[in-house]
Amino acid sequence: MLSFIFPGQGSQYAGMGKDLADQFAVARQTFEEADEALGFGLSRLCFEGPEDDLKLTENTQPAILAASVAALRVLRQERDLTPAFVAGHSLGEYSALVCAGGLSFADALRTVRLRGQFMQQAVPVGVGAMAAIIGLDAPDVQSVCAAACGAEIVSPANFNSPGQVVIAGHAAAVERAIELARGKGAKRALPLPVSAPFHCPLMVPAGERLAEVLATLEYGTLQVPVVTNVEARANQLSERIAELLVTQVSAPVRWEESVEYMVDQGVSRFIEIGPGKVLAGLVKRIAKGVEVGNLEDCAGLQKI
């Protein structure tokens, strides 16, 4: 069995999608659709940068989505592959929903641009922070966060793979958690260069604003089960899409469990579709022996 997986924020780079757009009309058309849906030159930002503009959350999210959907459409045109499941990391869940038929591409683009704005505006710059904790298991990281909180918030944000957990919350609480994690024997505990503390309770106001947007959308029948970040289980009910996406903003990404679930269901092949190879690397660490590929350019397509 096969799964398509889609990357989230942090995988962006100037030049993403250009190789496929140069070679395939369907990819060029995808970026043209994105430009039209958003009313500005997202394609140029993807292809040329500048990196500083591409790193702005409200630009990063639709840019990665567009590059992922362009790659998906090329894959569908050039290879006869049908996934048993789809999943995405944070933002990537929107790409997965487009793949599964639950969201239109245009609606997803407009929604993730607003999502990026809402997430950035929820916490003033400098108030929140995130950090990667390497070398501690999930229960230890949870206990570190509990001890570091005080009157503030710090909690696990991404359960990425064995021994790799990202935490998020108030900047001072995250700094305390870093020191405690080092004291517990973490191999590394380092702040991440992000503009907001994603996937923690400080994002609840962003989720409330996102809920208003999601309530206006139409949702299609899911043709493929979507393994969600919130539950690490398959959802195939279109009426649950909005609630799960709202919860996702302030809840941890349960990526390790999601991959384990798919493997338990019989998935033995994963293809990461979109910029970068972050998820492919995580899958290799989570599930030994599975086949993993990625498609972000023409070379990746040739290997699939």
Q: Which of 43, 90, 95, 250 is catalytic?
A: 90
Two structure tokens written together for 304: 């699939």
CA distance 218 to 238: 9
Kindly state the helix (H) or strand (E) to which residue 294 belongs, with its residue range.
strand 291-295
89 is catalytic: no
Q: Which of 11, 68, 95, 199 is catalytic?
A: 199
199 is catalytic: yes
Q: Token pair 């092949």 is at which residue?
A: 269
**Ranges assigned E (strand) in 18-143:** 85-88, 128-134
Q: Which residues neighbour 180 within 8 Å (Cβ) at sequence distance 6 or greater?
A: 144, 147, 148
Identify whether the C-beta of residue 51 lies closer than 8 Å to the C-beta of residue 261: no
Nearest to 16 by CA among 41, 49, 40: 49
Identify whether the C-beta of residue 69 lies closer than 8 Å to the C-beta of residue 61: no
CA distance 2 to 203: 33
Identify whether the C-beta of residue 269 lies closer than 8 Å to the C-beta of residue 291: yes
Q: Which residues are catalytic?
A: 90, 199
